[in-house]
Amino acid sequence: MIPQNFEYATPNSLAEAFKLLGESNAKALAGGMSLIPLMKLRLAAPDKLIDLRNVPGLNSIREEGGMLRIGALVTHYELESSPLVRSRCPLLAEAASQIGDIQVRNMGTIGGSVAHADPAADYPASLHALEAQVKLAKAGGERTLAIGSFLQDTFTTALDAGELVVEISVPVEAAGTGVSYQKCVQPASGFAIVGVAARIRKSGGRIALARVGVTGLSGKPFRAANVERLLEGAAGSAGDISKAAAVVADGVDANNDLHASADYRKHLARVYTARALAAAARKAG
């Protein structure tokens, strides 16, 4: 488990980071929890690692204009334990708390996780359910993409060469919204075989808002709009929930591997969707 030779730099500003990233075969390093294992397996062999940890401004969590603005370098542990996140966006805190183990959560970052775009990563389910925005920056300027456009495919994002994720924004949860993240854990890796995030808001005895994000089921995490449509306007009975959850895997090209065949994964997606919806509905009151 010995990586190839590489150089290592610790820029002190974004501008410096962009300059270094412009060099050939340079790669950003955040928590290293995905990149370093790939290098040790020699599946990645960057010539230069640009460690972002000294870049100022990437590790704050702020509430601003009804949004939580989370710096790319905020760790899973910070998200899981931050009082601000726990009260303003409990779904993200819940998802963060289910990632890997404590060592991984202490090192790994939300920016690194989304940039890596592992199809079995935990955050994307919640980020889809939250309709998160991802802010990207490069030497030329900034742009903001919806999570659905940012995550393009297995290990593939909209990031341009030399571009960084700098911030992820999620809405501050309105009072009365119930949320839940339910994960079926792959016993070896700890990643999600499937993970489902749900948000439910009720008004006048009806579901006013339903948001469902799914990870692990296929090559690309997604928002299950078909499930949401069946729920919005419904009373949210157990029957409503199981009917809605039943369609979550419809038309999805499910992953098939040692740990779960495609049809079992689809089944699990339905079960975990129902569980996430039921838990969220319960909390929504």
Partner 1 sequence: MATTVARPETLVGKRIKRKEDPRLITGTATYVDDIQMPGMHHASILRSPHAAAILKSINIRPALETAGVVAVFTGADVKDVGPVPCGASLPGLRVPHHHILAQDRVYFAGHPVAVVVSTDRYIARDAADRIEVEYDVKAAVADPEKALEKGAPAVHPQWPDNIAFTFHQENGEVDKVFAEAAVVVKQRITSQRLIPCAMETRGVVADYKTGEKALTIYSSTQIPHLMRSLVAGMLGMPEHKLRVVAPEVGGGFGSKLNVYAEEALMGFVSMRIGKPVKWIESRREGFLATIHGRGHADYFEIAAGKDGTILGLTLKLIQDLGAYHQLLTPAIPTLSVLMMPGLYRFKNIRADIVGVFTNCTPTDAYRGAGRPEATHGIERMVDMLAAEMKMDPAEIRLKNFIRPEEFPYATATGLSYDSGEYDKPLKKALDLVNYGRLREDQKRARAEGRLMGIGLSTYGEICAFGPSPATPAGGWESATVRVEPSGKVTVHTGASPHGQGEETTFAQIAADEMGVDLDDVIVLHGDTAIVQYGIGTFGSRATAVGGTALYFALQDLKVKIKKYGAMLLDSSDVSYSAGRCICNKTGKSVTLAEISGASYRAMRLPPNTEPGLMATHFWEPPNFTFPFGAHIVVTEIDKETGAVEIKRYVAVDDCGKIINPLIVAGQVHGGVVQGIGQALYENAVYDDNGQLLTGEFMDYAIPKASMLPRIEEDHTETPSPVNPLGVKGVGEAGTIGCSPAVVNSVVDALSPLGVKHLDMPLSPEKIWRVLTGGKA
Ligand X SMILES: Cc1cc2nc3c(=O)[nH]c(=O)nc-3n(C[C@H](O)[C@H](O)[C@H](O)COP(=O)(O)OP(=O)(O)OC[C@H]3O[C@@H](n4cnc5c(N)ncnc54)[C@H](O)[C@@H]3O)c2cc1C
Q: Does 93 bind ligand X (CB under 6 A)?
A: no
113 binds, among ligand X, partner 1, none (CB under 5 to 8 A by kind): ligand X
Q: Of the ranges 9-17, 86-94, 101-109, 274-282, which one interacts with ligand X (CB under 6 A)?
A: 101-109
Residue 27's beta-bridge partner residues? 49
Positions touching partner 1 (CB under 8 A) are: 1-2, 4-5, 41-42, 101, 184, 186-190, 258-261, 263-264, 267-268, 271
Element (H, E) at 149: helix 147-150
Q: Residue 26, SS3?
A: strand
* Contact with ligand X (CB under 6 A) among 78, 80, 94, 122: 122
Q: Please, which residue, 41 or 225, has the CB nearer to partner 1?
A: 41
Q: Please, which residue, 185 or 247, has the CB nearer to ligand X?
A: 185
- Identify the DSSP state of 183: E
Range 190-249, binding ligand X (CB under 6 A): 190-191
Q: Of the ranges 104-112, 126-134, 173-181, 257-265, which one interacts with ligand X (CB under 6 A)?
A: 104-112
Minimum separation from the CB atom of position 187 to partner 1 (A): 4
Quote the tokens at residue 271.
């079960």
Q: Does 29 bind ligand X (CB under 6 A)?
A: yes
Are the CB atoms for 209 and 233 separated by under 8 Å? no
Q: Please, which residue, 105 or 266, has the CB nearer to ligand X?
A: 105
Q: Please, which residue, 187 or 205, has the CB nearer to partner 1?
A: 187
Q: Residue 215, SS3?
A: strand
What distance in Å separates the CA atoms of residue 76 and residue 34, rounded to the nearest whole number?
Answer: 13
- Identify the DSSP state of 203: E
Q: Of the ranges 105-113, 125-133, 265-273, 275-283, which one interacts with ligand X (CB under 6 A)?
A: 105-113
Q: Tell me the pairing of strands 48-51 and 26-29.
A: parallel
Element (H, E) at 113: helix 110-116
184 binds, among partner 1, ligand X, none (CB under 5 to 8 A by kind): partner 1
What distance in Å separates the CA atoms of residue 234 and residue 156, rounded to the nearest whole number?
Answer: 36
- Identify the DSSP state of 52: G
Are the CB atoms for 196 and 204 separated by under 8 Å? no
Q: Does 165 bind ligand X (CB under 6 A)?
A: yes
Q: Does 28 bind ligand X (CB under 6 A)?
A: yes
What distance in Å separates the CA atoms of residue 34 and residue 49, rounded to the nearest whole number?
Answer: 13
Between the alpha carbon of residue 188 and those of residues 100, 181, 192, 255, the distances in Å are 11, 20, 11, 17
Minimum separation from the CB atom of position 107 to ligand X (A): 6
2 binds, among ligand X, partner 1, none (CB under 5 to 8 A by kind): partner 1
Residues interacting with ligand X, by CB under 6 A? 27-35, 37, 52, 72, 99-100, 104, 107-109, 111-113, 115-116, 118, 121-122, 159, 164-165, 190-191
